[in-house]
A and B are shown apart, each in its own frame.
Chain A
Amino acid sequence: MSRMHTRFEDVDVGHDLHTLSLTLSGEQVKGYAIAARMPGGRFMSDEEARKEGLPGQIVPGNMSLALFSRVIAESFPGATLKKLSATFRGLVHPGRPFVVHGVVTEKHRTDHGDLVECDLVLESTDGDRWVTGTATVQFPTRG
């Protein structure tokens, strides 16, 4: 079950994050690549990607990072993303459905604030893990 957490006190290890279910179009991927100043042909069209030896247009790794960041923003409104990591394990292609989801793995109060650690996954609807990652989120300290 997807959840939204606005207070550190309400977060527990094992809580699911908000889940995104998406199928990106080729135009959406191209639009992101232009906005992110990634001019590679592999992000622009199937034709350009094949010239680079790829089977077709691919989603930039940076766009997967952005999707992770979006899951964090939608799961923890008002909190601040402090760290984000991603490992690109497989090619993500437009036109193929996938889900982005995550889970809370740790929470701690520190001198630097109230922190929550999460694991994140971008995977196909068949369960192929194309991108995995972690995030550290800081909650506002309540006096």
Chain B
Amino acid sequence: MALDFDPSIIGSEFDRTVFAPVTQDAILEYARTSGEPAQNNVTAPPTFVVRLRGHRWMPDNLPKSLGRAGFDAGKDIVFGAPVRVGDVLTAVSTVHDIYEKTGRSGSMAFVVLRTLVTNQRDEQVAVIDQKMMFR
């Protein structure tokens, strides 16, 4: 796979979403279905942040040579301030990296989408790197 793309895409923002205040119901339902504990029923489990899906979850300007079907290859999350009932969270997503890798099964391309989540006090709640694989 020959990867040819405009380097200016790296770092470009493709989504910014402000979510409605976090409800106790959402926290408890996430905790119940994931098995992760919710502290005092008002603090969300750490991975609650993966539920913050913005208006657009993929950028429109990815290189055409990638093709259309991408697979979720992995995720890295750095956790900051905990999420509590009533928090108003903002998620800003950017294209963090695009690179090629050759393995035993051939050439693959990876796109890393970074989502920075902050709360109403401008505290960093999480940095989520989602790695999409294209082959």
Contact = CB atoms under 8 A, between A and B. Distances in A.
Interface of A: 28, 31-32, 34-38, 61-63, 65-67, 69-70, 73, 80-88
Given A83-B76, A83-B79, A69 B47 contact: yes
Task: Report whether over half of chain B's contact residues are helix, strand or loop; otherwise say mixed.
Answer: mixed
Given A35-B30, A37-B53, A85-B77, A66 B72 contact: no
Contacts of B53: 37-38
Contacts of B72: 61, 88
B50 interface: yes
Nearest to B131: A87
A134 to B, nearest CB: 9
Contact of B35 (A36, A62, A70, A85): A70
Contact of B76 (A38, A62, A73, A85): A85
B45 A66 contact: yes
A63 B51 contact: no
A66 B35 contact: yes
Instruction: Return the 9 tightest CB-CB contacts between A and B, nearest first.
Output: A66-B34, A87-B74, A32-B33, A35-B33, A62-B50, A85-B76, A66-B47, A31-B33, A35-B29
Given A65-B47, A66-B45, A84-B79, A35 B74 contact: no
6 contacts: A35-B29, A66-B35, A69-B36, A81-B79, A83-B79, A84-B76
Interface in B80-123: none
B1 interface: no
B33 to A, nearest CB: 4
Interface string B11-49: 000000000000000100110111111000000011100
